[in-house]
A and B are shown apart, each in its own frame.
Chain A
Amino acid sequence: MEIFLQQIINGVTLGSIYGLIAIGYTMVYGIIGMVNFAHGDVFMLSAFIALLLLLLLTQMLGLAAAPAFVAAMVASMALTALWNYAIERVAYRRLRSSFRLAPLISAIGMSTFLANFVTVTQGPNNKSIPPMWDDVIKITSGGAYDVTLSYKQILIVAVTGALLAAFWFVVQKTALGRAQRACEQDAKMAALLGVDVNRTVALTFVIGAALAAVAGSLYLLQYGVVKSSDGFVPGVKAFTAAVLGGIGSLPGAVLGGLLIGLIETLWGQYFSSDYKDVAAFSVLAITLIFMPSGLMGRPDVEKV
């Protein structure tokens, strides 16, 4: 029982991170119907940027760990947003009217480029930082096993919740959100009605990247280690989360993220940790095959 509870806590933490990445997938898919394959690598890149900035602030400027982390995270959000802006501009914008698989192939190319770019510039090995902010709250004690909840975990879940609320507000209430939904429905019509489609799509990529950067920073904080091949598997899992929640749906992405996080940790605990990725990949395949509109998505009627 204690172990189960602990795994639930760990799963929700991991799931929050997946959910943050999944929002990037789901927003881009919603607006231009493209599987942004490189998004996982953008997440990895953001973790590297946060790592380097953290080291820069602590080693060179002598800042304390906590403020340095917050500063690194915010700066990483800005820089990763710039990266994704540039990526969209260079690799995807021209392809919106190309043949249907062109954006996906381009995104695969971009994903390959980013992973190897970081490998070349930072080396292929694990980069680990000393653990920070390790205080925990004991939820149960005295049993065979102490269930703990760390401040980091609380922070991760709280940040995810706050960001979800903020973006829900943006999409529902602001001009940007209206423009996004207009482009989703019919980009050509939106353009005729004066919506700047290019700007709206670019902003969507920028927001997605900023959220991925939050996820990257929190990932670094929680697990303390990152390497250049870390974009692929978390990326696919976050995409799974987006699909499971119903692609195009914001709360769906977070719900999907939590589910994937839980499935992964519980599977790892009770079945086999070697095969924990198989669980996520199977969920992906099964969802796409049997319920492609996910838990909270709209069904897709084939137009003839």
Chain B
Amino acid sequence: MTRGDHIFRAAREAAWATLVVAGLGFPIIAYRAEPDFNNALMLQARWPLFFEFCLAAFVLRFALALWSGGAAKAVARERIWRKPGWLGPVALAVLVVYPIAIVGALGPQAALKWVDTYGVQILIYVLLGWGLNITVGLAGLLDLGYAAFYAVGAYAYALIAPATGLGFWALLPVCGLLAAFWGFCIGFPVLRLRGDYLAIVTLAFAEIVRIVLINWDVVTHGEAGLFGFPGLNFFGLPFIPGPRGFAAHVGLPFAGVHKPIFLYYLVLVLALAANFVSLRLRRLPLGRAWEALREDEIACRALGLDTANIKLTAFALGAFFAGVAGCLFALRQGFVSPSAFTFSESALILAIVVLGGGGSQLGVAVAAVFLVGASELLRELTFLKSVFGEDFDPAQYRMLLVGLAMVGMMNFRPRGLVSTREPTIRLGPEPAK
């Protein structure tokens, strides 16, 4: 095939792609319906945007066709990336120093956002990701209702703390156990189901939980949610200004950042504990049974493994960590409402696990930092608003990209970004790095 043929062919492919994109983009990109002052929908034409999309499709497809044709179908070789040994300790050191360094660099006022939104929020998602990873990544049970367990933890704290006067130290495990109990209850009826049906039933249960939260006004205050429950304190010292507060006791000037810093370390310790438990369990019969279940359920049964128990423990332990994370969420936000626990929250956590590559702890953490951190960063970039208009909300683009990333992962790297499965036990020596 000559070079000319090659280019002609690529151009033809690109022309087709452009036609398809034009069909897809008309009228959904080319026009936008907005209500006018009479509340009647009027069309706004956006042809330039439409043509930009078509042009982009042409250029991308053309480049792809040239590249893939030119590379003559190089055999796709999975590059094996081994985690260097120093990575863990270094990452841990960075995480421990992070809030102090930020406060030192920016001062307590400006650091607040960096500790709270980036630090605490991302770590909660890391904890959620590691929890769901047990159910989905290790045991291979697709749980589409994970946000329900997260909600159970959050509401458990918000309801029990004011009613009993118990502090969060006592309530953290309670929230976890309650969520685990729910995981057990939801896991029980779905034991016999095949993978995809199981996923759909967990989704149905989670939606039922959410609808109940919205409508059971007497207890949950509906959409408005619960607030005013007791917040975080430092071993009995509240984070308030004045002589009774934490700052006065330790002789520091009061700063709003103290509470997030404390919460940060609390979440960090709990997340590391979750990591420790997951890693250790993988080497124990229970964890091995989870992975075996993911590989082949029938073979598990033929080896005398009680698959019902294995599934229930995977559900319950995953839910336990979601409950703990929910409690931390309530402490961070100071209020809980059903809108934080929608299907799209479950999908986001699932995306973190999927992008992390079923089973890899590091991958999940990286995916959490990327998915949550990147969209928060997008929010910071105010110039985007001047480009895309005032009502530009990066959160919408986040979920759009999350969706595309999940599709892309399944198609190109179904085993995940950072996934080379290491055996949990070796007979021979470690392979050379």
Contact = CB atoms under 8 A, between A and B. Distances in A.
A104 B350 CA distance: 12
A58 B403 CA distance: 34
Contact of A112 (B193, B215, B403): B403
A304 B414 contact: no
Interface in A101-131: 101-106, 108-124, 127-130
B347 A112 contact: yes
Contact of A91 (B190, B207, B215, B407): B407
A110 B407 contact: yes
Contacts of A111: 403
A121 B32 contact: yes
Interface in B169-202: 189-190, 192-193, 195-197, 199-201
Interface residues of B, number: 62
Contacts of A105: 142, 350, 354, 406, 410
Interface string B32-59: 1111000111110000000000000000
A192 interface: no
Given A122-B28, A275-B211, A284 B405 contact: no
A292 B347 contact: no
Contact of B195 (A53, A101, A272, A289): A101
Contacts of A239: 200
Contacts of B195: 100-101, 104
Contacts of A35: 196, 199-200
A120 B397 contact: yes
Most buried by A among B144, B399, B410: B410
A304 B142 CA distance: 22
B26 A79 contact: yes
Interface string B1-44: 00000000000000000001001101111011111000111110
Given A109-B404, A117-B400, A288-B201, A102 B414 contact: yes
A304 B298 contact: yes
By size class, the interface of chain A is 35 or more
The A contact surface, by secondary structure, is helix
A53 B27 contact: yes
B204 A284 contact: yes
Contacts of B274: none
Contacts of B28: 45, 48-49, 52, 117-118, 121-122
Interface in B200-223: 200-201, 203-205, 207-208, 211-212, 214-215
B351 interface: yes
B396 interface: yes
B236 to A, nearest CB: 42
A219 interface: no
Contact of B204 (A102, A120, A121, A285): A285
Given A91-B407, A91-B411, A128-B41, A281 B344 contact: no
B199 A104 contact: yes
A83 B208 contact: no
A15 B200 CA distance: 21
A246 to B, nearest CB: 13
Residue among B40, B195, B207, B344 with the highest chain A CB neighbour number at 10 A: B207
Interface in A268-291: 272, 274-275, 277-278, 281-282, 284-285, 288-289
A55 interface: yes
B24 A289 contact: no
Contact of A130 (B40, B354, B399): B40
B343 interface: yes
Contact of A55 (B33, B142, B208, B391): B33
A109 B400 CA distance: 9
Contacts of B414: 98-99, 102
A222 to B, nearest CB: 17
A59 interface: yes
Contacts of B142: 101, 104-105
B129 interface: no
A215 interface: no
A83 B410 CA distance: 20
A120 B208 CA distance: 28
Given A101-B142, A239-B200, A284-B201, A59 B215 contact: no
A292 B29 contact: no
Contacts of A282: 204, 208
Given A109-B410, A281-B208, A116 B31 contact: no
Interface centre among A105, A272, A289 (most CB of B within 10 A): A105
B95 interface: no
B33 A90 contact: no
Contacts of A285: 189, 201, 204-205, 208
A157 interface: no
A113 B403 contact: yes
A82 interface: yes
A166 interface: no
A189 interface: no
Contacts of B23: 79, 82
B404 A113 contact: yes
A137 interface: no
A69 interface: no
Contact of A116 (B208, B211, B396, B409): B396
B272 interface: no
A3 interface: no
A236 B410 CA distance: 22
B34 to A, nearest CB: 7
Interface in A54-94: 55-56, 59-60, 79, 82-83, 86, 90-91, 94
A158 interface: no
22 contacts: A34-B196, A49-B27, A79-B23, A82-B24, A91-B411, A99-B414, A100-B196, A102-B414, A106-B410, A106-B411, A108-B350, A116-B397, A122-B33, A127-B33, A127-B35, A128-B39, A236-B203, A272-B215, A277-B207, A289-B190, A289-B193, A292-B193
Interface of B: 20, 23-24, 26-29, 31-35, 39-43, 140, 142, 144, 189-190, 192-193, 195-197, 199-201, 203-205, 207-208, 211-212, 214-215, 298, 343-344, 347, 350-351, 354, 391, 396-397, 399-400, 402-411, 414
Given A52-B33, A115-B399, 8 more contacts: A48-B28, A52-B31, A106-B407, A106-B410, A110-B407, A113-B404, A127-B41, A128-B41
